[in-house]
Amino acid sequence: MTADMILISQEAAQLIKTSGLWGHLSLRISEPDALAGVISVSEQQKVMRPAALEPRNHVLRCAGTGSGVWYRVGPELHGAALLVSVRSSGLTLEGFRGHVPSGFKTPGAMAYYALTYAPGVHDPPYNEGQIPELMAWHVSADGAWPISTQVEPQTLGLSQFAPSWPVAELSESTVMLVGGGSIGGAAAHALALYGVGNLLLVDPDRLGWHNLVRHVTSSRHVGRYKVDALADELAQIRSETRTEALRLDVVVDADRIRPLLRRTHVVLCAADGIAPRRVVSHLARRAGIDTVLACVLQDGAFGEILRLRPWADRGCLVCERETLATAGGMDIEPSLDAGYGTGTRHRPMTAVGGDLHLVGQLAAKVAVATVLERRGQADQRLPGEHTVWALRPQPGAAPPFDLSRSGELRWSPAHPPRPGCPTCQAP
């Protein structure tokens, strides 16, 4: 069995680093994947000590087994390995043996895998290069060839971004995501990637087969509540984000949404109906919480993100829409009261999945920027409160939708509340 890459877990790496001059290895090897992983390590001829291979469903869990040897070496061998790797070449067997001070195993008719550990790479002059501590080799009677090695980092997860990204601030933040459809699903994944620590997922609907062409989830979730499917997926791939799956309708269950807003920093609404968007705008405004509304318009011609701030000089969703309509813009909200498949109340096509995911990801960015700006991160200020993104621009559209090129993005300022608005007026 052959492998082009060897995986070394932190547990295996620590065993090698603390076990003397040389020893044996046990490997899992997947020939179809040309991949191997270290699963146990010994010191010389002593008992093999297991090294966990995670996760439990890793491809190597069911692969075949093999063996190898590890050696402690000087840093010059790893420096030489980098040079021969550039030429896609290797070392002579005698040349490789000359760098192994103890325990060298001469290959017979069968080649073997070797790992070399060179602790001296941290000392001058080797510490000025990018020389790794651990390297893998394919050793045969014809010579020794370096092969790719992946060593599990000591630090995994979002903490790798600190201090270049405000990991701590976002891990303490909570975003309520209303709508677990195509835009909402993409937004959920993006929010987790940004490092948002807590997601409240709100949606009463189940995932249907017809959703799959646009949704981020797969067919194994068909029939399940969308929030449950998203929560399960995020738990598997972004476990640092804590999720609560809430099978709630923001219109019907408004009394249950209000208390949740007390522990929410920003609401991202990806619902495409008029009523849910207006209810979210009203509830968040009354709770004093920033809101980000994301949708597509005109059958996927435009993506739109509208941020509402609960400030005295900023209007709610209805105020923004009425101001736009009064200025001659398109009557947006009726176009949102549409879904898939009926051709009457529901429009047969909103947008392709890729465009919907772009809108969801940009909405997540706006939500995260809103949280961080509130926490004093000045570099997260946005150029406006309302953005329109041309996905399939339509000739003759009224401002601010008069975009001419796909991908064109336009930001606009917010507008003040309209007189008599029941949402914006103090209760």
pLDDT above 80: residue 17: yes
137 vs 258: CA distance, rounded Å: 61
399 vs 265: CA distance, rounded Å: 32
* Per-residue model confidence (pLDDT) at position 334: 58
* Burial track 55-78 (b if 16+ CB lie within 10 A, e otherwise): eeeeebeebeebebbbbbbbbebb
**What does the pLDDT look like over 120-137, one tens digit per residue?**
999 888 887 789 999 999
Tokens linked to 344 = 């009457």
* Per-residue model confidence (pLDDT) at position 331: 62
Q: How high does pLDDT run on average in the chain?
A: 91
Tokens linked to 82 = 């980098």
**What does the pLDDT look like over 57-114, one tens digit per residue?**
788 888 889 999 999 999 999 999 988 888 788 999 999 999 999 999 999 888 999 9
DSSP 91: B
pLDDT interval class at 340 (50, 70, 90): very low
pLDDT above 60: residue 241: yes
pLDDT interval class at 344 (50, 70, 90): very low
Domains of the chain: 5-151 (3.40.140), 158-339+346-412 (3.40.50.720)
List Cβ neighbours of 51 (8 Å cut-off, separation of 6 or more).
9, 11, 12, 15, 38, 39, 40, 41
Q: What is 382-413 written as a DSSP string?
A: -S-SEEEEESS--TTPPTTS---STT-EEEE-
* Per-residue model confidence (pLDDT) at position 419: 93
